[in-house]
Amino acid sequence: MKIMFIINDLGVNEPFGPMMLSAIVKQKGHQTTLGVLQQENVEAKIDSWKPDMIAYSMMSVDMADMKKFNDNLRMRKKVFTLLGGPHATLDRSCIDDPNIDAICVGEGDKAILEVVNNLEKGKSLEGIPNIMVSSDSKLELMDFIEDLDALPFMDRDLVYQYPEMAKFGIKGIWASRGCPYPCPYCFNNRFNALYKGKGKIVRRRSVDSIIRETKELVKNYRVAFVRMQDDVFVHKVDDWLKEFAKRWAEEIKIPFYCLLRSETISDEMAYYLKKAGCFSICMSIEAGDDMLRNRMLRRRISKEKLEEAFKIFKKHKINVYANTMLALPFSTLDQDIASVDFAIKVQPDMPNFSIFMPYPGTDLGDYCKQAGIYYADKEDINYGMRNASPLDCFPEKEKNAQYNLCQLAIVAVKFPALRNLIINHLIYWKSNKLFFFTHYFFAITTYGRKIFYFKHTLREYVELIVRTLKHYFYDFLSKSSQDVVGKKGIAGQTIRIQNKNRYDRIIELEKCMEAMAKNTLVNNG
């Protein structure tokens, strides 16, 4: 059987989902290829290659582009379509789309073979665990795959058939699956609730398996820098980390980047990461305001602990990429400014600020709908994090200031002397291209030196920047400045919040999300 996986775009991160599924079906003799909507004429590729099945892998940010493509495709061609990825898992109403034949909910490693086998035999897919063919389908989930070493190495050829990806010096590796943390803005919280009772959330490959795959990767392709693509690379100092540090340093000797949780950081952990060859890490701040960070976002970490984590990495000379969200539901501009001020204090090597987006199926996303502060049609909303807030709890002038702060905060962190000029004056100006390109310039000059560093030519450096930041650039060019800032919801009335103080609003939000989480468990049970 011929299977074409379709993704929206290729960036720094390889699409591990399709790469793993491709490896699994290839083991059984099936053929696969990849289509990339933003880089090639995928319809022409379908016409020439003639796949038996189209398998879309998408996140919420990809939904609009993929739906438009699939609708156009099905107008002229009847081909079986399967939709998977985080968006299909959290928003299972996707199956109501008449142009989607089935969706895969959760992990698809085992389900993909059953789907392919049934299609070859002309049998229905009804009853296959993790697969829905209609809104009436009873969803049953397979247990988590416990032994990750039993999975094949990913099909690198699926992606590296594109010369620019094969030659690109940064390659991805995965060491584990699962994230145990209950962040209400993230896919993993609801994913874990969905899989309750189905096995351990966090599973890890053996160090030997990781080393063998990396050696094979280095043998066949150019690898100057490795991006560990786990949700959280390590949670504590244990024998696994010590073995990894020793073997990676001795047998691989390639610098790498990974994601960590600030509350787990210790001097000993940083020591072993540095020993292994860790060059940079991602460690989120999320909010500088204690109420937002701990009550709304469930981070449960003090400013003092956060500051300590940044100091530890500075001591060990490991660069830090730090995410912070602005415009959280019912937050104030003063709270956003507090987040910028905290970043100025801890001085991450690469500060990143984004506007909160209410992704469908997440606790915060659902809360925003229930609270009546988010009305946008899910097919029209652009989920890019460089757009103005879509929430109706903010007046238009505040959305404008939030958006400008998102663009200029990196400058304030890098040059604290400009903080007052930016905070007291510039963020209140009308949003403009100068602010956008100022942000873009500082991001360009930081990414390639501080986060994804390797010896490269000027051309490779430019390619790195384009791959890393092009989505922000596309978001900006795809709409006018008037569209970017100040677009109102298509229905409903703005909630009146003047008589409620910040504490009451956040406590109310917290209780609402707790109730929704319990309801999710009941519905999934």
Rg of the chain over all Cα atoms, to the nearest angstrom? 23
Distance between CA 25 and CA 438 in Å, rounded?
46
For residues 134 and 114, the answer to whether their CB atoms sit within 8 Å is: no
- In the structure encoding, which two tokens stand for residue 65, read together? 């582009």
Cα dihedral 213, 218, 220, 223 sign:
positive
Distance between CA 118 and CA 121 in Å, rounded?
5
Predicted confidence at residue 282, as pLDDT, reads 97
- In the structure encoding, which two tokens stand for residue 328, read together? 């959280």
> 225 φ, ψ to 5°?
-155, 140
Q: Return all residues near 50 (Cβ < 8 A) that are at least 6 apart.
A: 2
User: Within 10 A of 510 (CB to CB), how many other CB atoms are there?
Assistant: 17
Distance between CA 355 and CA 476 in Å, rounded?
14
Predicted confidence at residue 345, as pLDDT, reads 98
Distance between CA 484 and CA 24 in Å, rounded?
42
For residues 274 and 318, the answer to whether their CB atoms sit within 8 Å is: yes
For residues 494 and 398, the answer to whether their CB atoms sit within 8 Å is: no
Predicted confidence at residue 473, as pLDDT, reads 54
Share of the chain above pLDDT 70, in %: 85
**Secondary structure of residue 515 in the 3-state scheme:** helix
Predicted confidence at residue 136, as pLDDT, reads 82
- In the structure encoding, which two tokens stand for residue 157, read together? 């050829």
Predicted confidence at residue 27, as pLDDT, reads 97
> 475 φ, ψ to 5°?
-55, -45
Give the pairing type, strands 2-7 and 31-36: parallel
Torsion of CA 473, 477, 479, 483, to 10 degrees: 60
Classify burial at 24, counting beta carbons within 10 Å of its beta carbon; exposed 0-12, middle 13-18, buried 19 or more. Answer: buried
The list of the chain residues with pLDDT below 70 reads 376-386, 454-458, 460-507, 510, 513-525
Predicted confidence at residue 34, as pLDDT, reads 98
Q: Is 106 left (phi over 0), alpha (psi -120 to 50) or beta?
A: left
**Secondary structure of residue 6 in the 3-state scheme:** strand
Strands (DSSP E) contained in 203-283 are: 203-204, 225-228, 256-259, 278-282
**Secondary structure of residue 121 in the 3-state scheme:** helix
b/e per residue, 339-370, with b = 16+ CB within 10 A? bbbbbbebebbbbbbbbbbbbbbbbbbbbbee
Longest CA–CA span in the chain (Å) reads 69
- If we measure between CA atoms, which residue out of 1, 276, 263, 286 comes closest to residue 121? 1
Predicted confidence at residue 271, as pLDDT, reads 99
Domains in the chain with CATH codes:
2-132 (3.40.50.360), 168-484 (3.80.30.20)
Helices 333-346, 303-315: axis angle to 10 degrees equals 30
Predicted confidence at residue 447, as pLDDT, reads 81
Predicted confidence at residue 514, as pLDDT, reads 66
